[in-house]
Amino acid sequence: MKAFILDRYGKKGGLLLGEMPEPELRDDEVLVQVQAAGVNPLDSKIKSGEFKLVLPYRLPLILGHDVAGVVVRVGPRVRQFKPGDEVYSRPDDFRIGAFAEFIAIREASLAIKPKALTMAEAASIPLVGLTAWQALVGKANLQKGQKVFVQAGSGGVGTFAIQLAKHLGAFVATTTSTANVDWVKRLGADIVIDYKKEDFEPILHDYDVVLNSQDSATLAKSLSVLRPGGKLISVSGPPDPAFGEEIRAPWFVKSVMRLLSFGIRRQAKRSKVSYSFLYMKANGGQLREISALIDSGAIRPVVDQVFPFEATRQAMDYVESGRAKGKVVVTMG
C-alpha cells in the first residue's frame, strides 16, 4: 500500500511517499480503507523526535492520528463493526498510521462516522474532539455556569473546546489574533482577547478551568486567572508524575517528568489550584458521544484546508506554520 513513511527523526525531511505492507490485523481490530486523515501538530512533534522519550516508536513509521474511512475486514473478536461501515477514529499510540491507504484500528477505539459529516470533516474530529472531551468533561468535570479559559481559540483543539464548553453551559473566554476575533465569537466564545493587542491576565479573573495549549510562559501566567481550587489543564506539557504512572513509564522517565513539571506544580500549589497534564487517549465510546453532539447540530467541524494525499508533506508544513484556522485534512483520490 502507499504510505508516507518517517525513516528518520528531524524537523526537516524524513517523510517519504513509498510502499509499505498492509497492517497485520489482530483479533480485536478492524481494517479500514482510509478516505481522509487529519493532520495535527502531534505528527510534527513525533517527526522531529520531540516525543521520543514518551513515545519510543521504532522507525520506519507511518504517521497520522486522525482517520475516516470504510471498514474492509474485521478480526474474529470484533462484534460492533462490519465491512462497508463508515467509521472514524483516533488510533491508539503505537498503532497510528493514517497517512496510508489502509490502517488497522482496535474495535474499542473506533466509532461510526457522524451521518452529518463528509469523510474529510469526520477526519478532522477525533484527536481534537477527544482532547477537548477528556479535558473539559473528564478532568475538569465542567459544569453549567462555570468559567473556562480556552487558549488559542482558532486552533484545532480551541475551535472544538469552545463549542463543547458552550454546550455544557459554561462561560468561555479565549485568545486569538486580530483577524479571527469575530470568527471565534461566532463559535460561541463570550470573551475574545486579541493577543496581538493585549494580555489576558489583567482581563480574566476567578476562572474555574484553564485549558492550556501554549508555551511555558503562557502556562505560568494562566495561574493568575484561576480562582482558589481552580484547575489548570495543559495539553502542551510539561508532563507530570501522574502521567508517568498512567503510561507505566520507566523510573528514569518518571524522574524526568517530575523534574520538568516541578516548577509549575509548585507554583500551582502556592496559588491553591491544581495542575495536570493531559495526553489524549483513543476512546471509541467517547467518540460515539461526540458523534451524537455533531449529528444534533451542537458542534460543527472547522476545516481550514483539504490537501490531496500526495501533498501530505505540504499539509504538515502548513500545520507547522501555525496559520491554520481549525483543522487541516488530507484525502485519498
Indicate if 115 and 228 belong to the same structural domain: no
Write out the residue range of the structural domain in which residue 165 sits: 128-277
Evaluate if residue 88 carries a pLDDT over 90.
yes
Indicate if 83 and 133 belong to the same structural domain: no
Query: DSSP H helical segments within 192-311, as ranges?
Result: 216-222, 241-246, 251-270, 284-296
For residue 288, being part of any structural domain is answered with: no
For residue 235, being part of any structural domain is answered with: yes
What is the pLDDT at residue 195?
A: 95
Indicate if 15 and 73 belong to the same structural domain: yes
Indicate if 134 and 79 belong to the same structural domain: no
For residue 287, being part of any structural domain is answered with: no
**Can you read off the three cell numbers belonging to residue 117?**
459529516
Evaluate if residue 300 carries a pLDDT over 90.
yes
Torsion of CA 316, 52, 10, 63, to 10 degrees: -30
**Can you read off the three cell numbers belonging to residue 100?**
496510508
pLDDT in tens, 44-58: 999 999 888 888 899
Mean pLDDT computed over 22-34: 97
Q: Between these two residues, 333 and 190, which has the higher pLDDT value?
A: 190
> Does residue 99 contact residue 38 with C-beta atoms inside 8 Å?
no
Indicate the number of domains in the chain.
2
For residue 292, being part of any structural domain is answered with: no
Indicate if 308 and 270 belong to the same structural domain: no
Q: Which long-range contacts (CB under 8 A, 24 or more apart) does 303-307 make?
A: 303/120, 303/121, 303/124, 303/327, 303/328, 303/329, 304/328, 305/329, 306/36, 306/120, 306/330, 306/331, 307/39, 307/331
Mean pLDDT computed over 94-100: 97
* Cα–Cα distance for residue pair 98/117, rounded to 1 Å: 18
pLDDT in tens, 57-67: 999 999 999 99
pLDDT in tens, 103-153: 999 999 999 999 999 999 999 999 999 999 999 999 999 999 999 999 999
For residue 200, being part of any structural domain is answered with: yes
Check which CATH number belongs to the domain holding 250 and give it: 3.40.50.720
For residue 284, being part of any structural domain is answered with: no
pLDDT range class, residue 247, cuts 50, 70, 90: confident
